[in-house]
Amino acid sequence: MRVNVAIIAHDNPKVMLDASIGSVLLEKSEIHQLFLVDNSSTDRLRKHYDALTTYIYPGKNLGFGAANNIAMRRSIDESVDYHLLVNPDIYFNQGTIRELLDFMDAHPDVGLVSPKVVYPNGTTQHLCKLIPTPADLIGRRFLGWGPFKQLTDRRNEFFELQFSGYEALMEVPILSGSFMLIRTSVLEKVGLFDERFFLYLEDFDLCRRIGEVSRTVFYPYTSVVHEYEKGSYFNRRLFGHHIVSAIKYFSKWGWLFDRKRRKTNQACLAKLQSHTATEDRVSAENTCKRAGTAAAADRESLFCRAN
């Protein structure tokens, strides 16, 4: 049995869930069970999806982590190899799950993998991150405008690893909970989502724990579409959840003093920057070889030697 899939619903439009569930069902041969855990105010979705999914209605909104844990426990109990989290606003092409499963099968030291995530227009979402400091979260939330925007954008180049280009395999500390394929044997070691986080930052916390016992990898060779909305930027209630989760997160891992954060971030940046520099040199050398005229070759060779 290769993988169980969990989608957590909360009063989502049916057309959105149809796209997400439909994408998963394109790969039924790979899937043991598809869980739909419904955090909605009523069980109106039951009649639409009871026959297609293992429908679970807790009767109240448990929060993202606690709802996912219901399905994760089932995956562990059933000895399924992998557990996949899929946001209800994500959809993708057939073969996506199979490709990620094959990657995990070939790399037993990887505990978590996420694909490239794009907007509906094809633009890459920069969801790979370093382990955050309080300043990172405060700056992104409150200082991304006016005289602070340039400073915030510069910090995000590194915090979101934008400089990497998102075109190569990367081992990164934080991956997005919107689409996570996790090895269940690793979940048995590190535990499930910390249910003290009702919403937001529970994926950061889980990534950190997984990263302590295995590799957490960004896989760019397949992608999913995410109709991403920063809900906490527009909704006061969600903003409140974000603030409370941030306080819980830094109280757990450390506010100013977090040695693991510094060590992990420095190692990640050093590795990625070294890899980027190597790619630039190889690209320049290949350009030199392809130069069609002696003059062009001379110009390119100067660039190659300079790098």
Q: What is the pLDDT of residues 224-271, one digit of tens each?
A: 999 976 544 557 888 899 999 999 999 999 999 999 999 999 999 999
For residue 297, pLDDT over 80 is answered with no
Predicted confidence at residue 289, as pLDDT, reads 45
Q: What is the CA radius of gyration of the chain?
A: 21
Predicted confidence at residue 1, as pLDDT, reads 63
Q: What is the pLDDT of residues 36-49, one digit of tens each?
A: 999 999 999 999 99
Tell me which of 32-41, 101-110, 234-243, 287-296 is least confident: 287-296
CA distances (Å), origin 269, targets 150, 170, 208, 274: 21, 11, 16, 8
Q: What is the pLDDT of residues 126-145, one digit of tens each?
A: 999 999 999 888 877 666 55
Mean pLDDT of the chain: 88
Q: Which residue has the tokens 């995000």?
A: 156
User: What dihedral do alpha carbons 57, 60, 66, 71 form, nearest 10°?
Assistant: 0
In this prediction, residue 275 has a pLDDT band, given cuts at 50, 70 and 90, of confident
Cβ atoms of 204 and 249 closer than 8 Å: yes
Q: What tokens does 211 get?
A: 């990263």
Predicted confidence at residue 292, as pLDDT, reads 44
HEC readout, the chain: CCEEEEEEECCCCHHHHHHHHHHHHCCHHHEEEEEEEECCCCCCCHHHHCCCCEEECCCCCCCHHHHHHHHHHHHHHCCCCEEEEECCCEECCCCHHHHHHHHHHHCCCEEEEEEEEECCCCCECCCCECCCCHHHHHHHHHCCCHHHHHHHHHHHHHHCCHHHCCCCCEECCECCCCEEEEEHHHHHHHCCCCCCCCCCCHHHHHHHHHHCCCEEEEEEEEEEEECCCCHHHCCHHHHHHHHHHHHHHHHHHCCCCCHHHHHHHHHHHHHHHHHHHHHHHHHHHHHHHHCCCHHHHHHHHHHHHHC
User: What dihedral do alpha carbons 212, 213, 214, 218 form, nearest 10°?
Assistant: -30
Q: Which amino acid is at 223?
A: S
In this prediction, residue 62 has a pLDDT band, given cuts at 50, 70 and 90, of very high
Residues in the chain: 307
Q: Look at residues 117, 92, 89 and name the one whose alpha carbon lies nearest to residue 12.
A: 89
Give the whole-number percent of the chain exceeding pLDDT 70.
Answer: 85
Using a 10 angstrom Cβ sphere, with 0-12 exposed, 13-18 middle and 19 or more buried, the burial of residue 259 is exposed
Predicted confidence at residue 145, as pLDDT, reads 58
Q: Which residues pair with 5 in a beta bridge?
A: 34, 84
**Rounded mean pLDDT of 218-229?**
92
Biggest CA pair distance of the chain: 73
Query: Regarding predicted confidence, which is higher, 301 or 225?
Result: 225
Predicted confidence at residue 146, as pLDDT, reads 63
Predicted confidence at residue 150, as pLDDT, reads 76
Q: How many CA atoms lie within 13 A of 229 on its CB side?
A: 8
Q: What tokens does 261 get?
A: 């954060």
Q: Which residues pair with 192 in a beta bridge?
A: none
Q: What is the pLDDT of residues 1-38, one digit of tens each?
A: 699 999 999 999 999 999 999 999 999 999 999 999 99
Q: What's the CA gap between 27 and 120, in Å, rounded?
A: 21
Q: What is the pLDDT of residues 168-186, one digit of tens each?
A: 999 999 999 999 999 999 9
